[in-house]
A and B are shown apart, each in its own frame.
Chain A
Amino acid sequence: MSFIDKIQKQPALKPSVSILENSNKKQVINRASNLIWAIVRLILLIGLSYIVLYPIIFCLSLSIRQPNDMIDPTVIWLPKNLTFDNIKFVLENIGFPEAFGKSMAISLSCSFLQMMSCAITGYGFARFKFKGRNIIFLLALMTFIVPPQIISMPLYIQYSKITITTSQLFGGDGIQLINTVTPIALAAVFAQGIKSGLFIYLFRQSYKGMPKELEDAAYLDGCGPIKAFTTIMFPNSTPILLVTFVLSFVWYWNDYINISLFFNKSKPLSVLLASVTDMFGRMISPAGGGYTSIEVTVYETTFCLMFILLPIILYVFLQKKFTESLMSTSIVG
């Protein structure tokens, strides 16, 4: 469009009057249709954003109301009495803080380890030619399409076996690996964490996109490949490092399939959240008797809000950098 405008604005062409009038008319129509489209677009986007944000607004609204407000038809979004009792209840009664700490430990350590191991692997695939590279890379991608249960189930049995054999050999309880971070962290150390195939792919793409001259200069100055990676390539790949860290942090935080298998006694947040309905069913309320289903719903939703709060806060702070980095790395396809 800009090109046409430029031609039309050329004074050297000296267009006849009728053409000028014509283009004026066109411009008016153009402007009108642009305006209409802008309005339609705005309405559409606001509507769709509402749907996306709906569950979060819903959680927020439910978590600050009293259970009584649930059956009050006049209460839609804003509760009659603002209360923080629900949040207090979840914090105090079902072991939220411990579970939060556990989830934090798992997510932080595993996402860091996964970031490191996938960066090293991705660099190996991006910059070195060796026999069978393409086939091995395909295998690395393959791990992405395998349902996690296929892998975690035998591992679970493996780790329980270790506990039993060590207890038979040395007496006592043996080495406990289930209910610790070890099984999940070990997989992350060896680049087999959650969706690691995707991260290896992203790292490979982004290292391929970096200029080769960087390393050539380092080689000329007497660096080996390892030093070139640790001192030049790795520190210079902060965008993709950020993307990997944030995504894997969030995916470990949200993960249920792996974590629920390896943690059956001590519960991280996602496992606790899944079992919370049963827990409320068994608990006795201070008024005596069980909790009503409405109370359970309110508490459960409050728990959900507290569960997704950390990823949301993380996202709000890193949003711009995160999306920019993710876009720039996925371009190099």
Chain B
Amino acid sequence: MKKLSYERKKAYYGYLFISVWAIGFIFFFLSPFITSVRYSLAEVTIQQGYVGLNSCGFNNYINLFIKNPEFMPAFTDTVTSVAVKSPLIIIFSLFVAVVLNQSFKGRTFFRAVFFLPVIIAGGIAIEIINGNYYLGLITTGGRSDSLFESQSIAQMLANSGVPQTAVDYIIKTVNEIFGLLWNSGIQILIFIAGLQSIPTTLYEVANVEGSNGWTTFWKVTVPMLAPMLIVNVFYTVVDNMISFSNEMFKLIDGYLNNLKFDEAAAMAIINFVIVFVMVILIYVIGNKSVYYAVD
């Protein structure tokens, strides 16, 4: 037998190492994925555990967009909430990361608090608590309607001549701060990691050149963080699009429980296509505008 070259041999070992994943990918990802696509293109009937497929082209998709009364609201709600929330989460987590990266007493404690949502968020518990704490506050003598005394602030703003739509938007954002905080644990972590990897010499140069804090932030910190920024945008969009708490997923779950596999599959695939397009967009825009210090 001919002896394999070192390179070839290593390549075979590479295949060996990823073979476990490859088997899983084919049987536990690709084949169910294709099956789901087939379901979404057919009428699925289930009789005694047998799945009957009656192919009907893109009817399921068309029905979802035209006939289904629940889909469009859930769809627009999900997409707009991701579009509104993601930039806020990014800006907010960048701010918190910059603050938590400074050295002061009690930093470890505050870091621990801000990373806590990584452990708990995304679970069903927080959904229920979220629902309950509004209920709880309403039943507790009707003191206030939410975490903040936003009602009185809204009144004040409206009285001082701010247009109602602006007031609504502000109040909505303020009320969502809970969701923002609870969704930005990983992002804060990634930003802090990025901040720590910026060489201090850059800041010293900026200082010697007479740059103030604000300029330094925009000319040194932000460009150096740009790769992390892209990672975070990517993560935030995916995390919010594929999350138990968004309207579309609740709808899919409901359809699954009623064994409407065809429409559930169609919805899930629409969701996937949107995430896919968003990810490609982020990648293209990111690649064009980001400066990589390494590589």
Seen from chain A, the residues whose Cβ lies within 8 Å of a Cβ on chain B are: 1-4, 38, 41-42, 44-45, 48-49, 51-55, 58-59, 62, 70-73, 75-76, 117, 120-121, 123-125, 127-131, 133, 136, 139-140, 143-155, 157-158, 160-161, 163-164, 186-187, 189-192, 200, 224-226, 229, 247, 250-251, 253-257, 260-261, 270, 273-274, 294, 297, 300-301, 304, 307-308, 311-312, 314-315, 319-320, 323, 326-328, 330-331, 333
Chain B residue with the shortest CB-CB distance to A306: B125
Chain B residue with the shortest CB-CB distance to A139: B25
Chain A residue with the shortest CB-CB distance to B135: A297
Q: Interface size class for chain B?
A: 35 or more
In the assembly, what is the distance between CA of A186 and CA of B12, in Å? Answer: 25
Main secondary structure of the interface of A (DSSP, over half): helix
* Interface status of B155 (Cβ within 8 A of chain A): no
Cβ of B112 and Cβ of A144 under 8 Å apart? no
Cβ of B268 and Cβ of A149 under 8 Å apart? yes
Minimum CB–CB distance for A275 against chain B, Å: 10
Minimum CB–CB distance for A35 against chain B, Å: 12
In the assembly, what is the distance between CA of A256 and CA of B245, in Å? Answer: 11
Q: Hey, what's the 0/1 contact readout for B184-212 against A, CB within 8 Å counting as 1?
A: 00000110111011000000100110000
Chain A neighbourhood of B87, CB < 8 A: none
Cβ of B21 and Cβ of A147 under 8 Å apart? no
Cβ of B238 and Cβ of A144 under 8 Å apart? yes
Chain A neighbourhood of B112, CB < 8 A: 315, 319-320, 323
Chain B neighbourhood of A331, CB < 8 A: 193-194, 196-197
Q: Which residues of chain B (251-282) have a CB below 8 Å from chain A?
A: 252-253, 256, 261, 264-265, 268-269, 271-272, 275-276, 279
In the assembly, what is the distance between CA of A41 and CA of B96, in Å? Answer: 10
* Interface status of B132 (Cβ within 8 A of chain A): yes
- Leading 5 A-B pairs by shortest Cβ distance: A190-B24, A128-B14, A73-B141, A124-B17, A254-B123
Q: Which of B31-39, B64-72, B160-168 contacts A (4 or more CB under 8 A)?
A: B31-39
In the assembly, what is the distance between CA of A307 and CA of B28, in Å? Answer: 29
* Interface status of B4 (Cβ within 8 A of chain A): no
* Interface status of B231 (Cβ within 8 A of chain A): yes
Looking at the complex, which one of B11, B22, B25, B231 makes contact with A333 (CB distance below 8 Å)?
Answer: B231
Give 5 CB contacts A-B under 8 Å: A41-B104, A62-B132, A145-B279, A153-B268, A157-B261
Cβ of A320 and Cβ of B108 under 8 Å apart? yes
Minimum CB–CB distance for B132 against chain A, Å: 5
In the assembly, what is the distance between CA of A148 and CA of B264, in Å? Answer: 12
In the assembly, what is the distance between CA of A330 and CA of B193, in Å? Answer: 7
Asked, given contacts A145-B275, A330-B193, whether A41 binds B249 with beta carbons under 8 Å apart, the answer is no
Cβ of B51 and Cβ of A157 under 8 Å apart? yes
Chain B neighbourhood of A123, CB < 8 A: 17
Which of A38, A58, A73, A157 has the most CB atoms of chain B within a 10 A radius of its CB?
A157
Cβ of A154 and Cβ of B181 under 8 Å apart? no
Seen from chain B, the residues whose Cβ lies within 8 Å of a Cβ on chain A are: 7, 10-18, 20-25, 27-29, 31-33, 35-36, 39, 48-51, 96, 99, 102, 104, 108, 110-120, 122-126, 128-130, 132-133, 135-136, 139-143, 147, 177-178, 181-182, 189-190, 192-194, 196-197, 204, 207-208, 227-228, 231, 238, 242, 244, 249, 252-253, 256, 261, 264-265, 268-269, 271-272, 275-276, 279
Looking at the complex, which one of A4, A117, A131 makes contact with B21 (CB distance below 8 Å)?
Answer: A117
In the assembly, what is the distance between CA of A270 and CA of B120, in Å? Answer: 12
In the assembly, what is the distance between CA of A146 and CA of B129, in Å? Answer: 27
Looking at the complex, which one of A49, A136, A304, A315 makes contact with B125 (CB distance below 8 Å)?
Answer: A304
Minimum CB–CB distance for B106 against chain A, Å: 8
Cβ of B124 and Cβ of A326 under 8 Å apart? no
Asked, given contacts A4-B208, A51-B177, whether A154 binds B17 with beta carbons under 8 Å apart, the answer is no
In the assembly, what is the distance between CA of A311 and CA of B121, in Å? Answer: 11
In the assembly, what is the distance between CA of A224 and CA of B265, in Å? Answer: 45
Cβ of A150 and Cβ of B36 under 8 Å apart? yes
Asked, given contacts A117-B21, A151-B33, whether A130 binds B132 with beta carbons under 8 Å apart, the answer is no
Cβ of A52 and Cβ of B182 under 8 Å apart? yes
Chain A neighbourhood of B18, CB < 8 A: 121, 124-125, 136
Minimum CB–CB distance for B49 against chain A, Å: 4
Cβ of A323 and Cβ of B32 under 8 Å apart? no
In the assembly, what is the distance between CA of A10 and CA of B189, in Å? Answer: 39
In the assembly, what is the distance between CA of A260 and CA of B17, in Å? Answer: 32
Looking at the complex, which one of B24, B116, B268 makes contact with A150 (CB distance below 8 Å)?
Answer: B268
Asked, given contacts A190-B27, A308-B123, whether A327 binds B196 with beta carbons under 8 Å apart, the answer is yes
Chain B neighbourhood of A148, CB < 8 A: 242
In the assembly, what is the distance between CA of A229 and CA of B123, in Å? Answer: 35
Minimum CB–CB distance for A147 against chain B, Å: 5
Cβ of A52 and Cβ of B113 under 8 Å apart? yes
Chain A neighbourhood of B141, CB < 8 A: 71-73
Minimum CB–CB distance for A283 against chain B, Å: 18
In the assembly, what is the distance between CA of A163 and CA of B50, in Å? Answer: 12
In the assembly, what is the distance between CA of A256 and CA of B250, in Å? Answer: 11
Minimum CB–CB distance for A5 against chain B, Å: 10
Minimum CB–CB distance for B75 against chain A, Å: 13
Cβ of B264 and Cβ of A140 under 8 Å apart? no
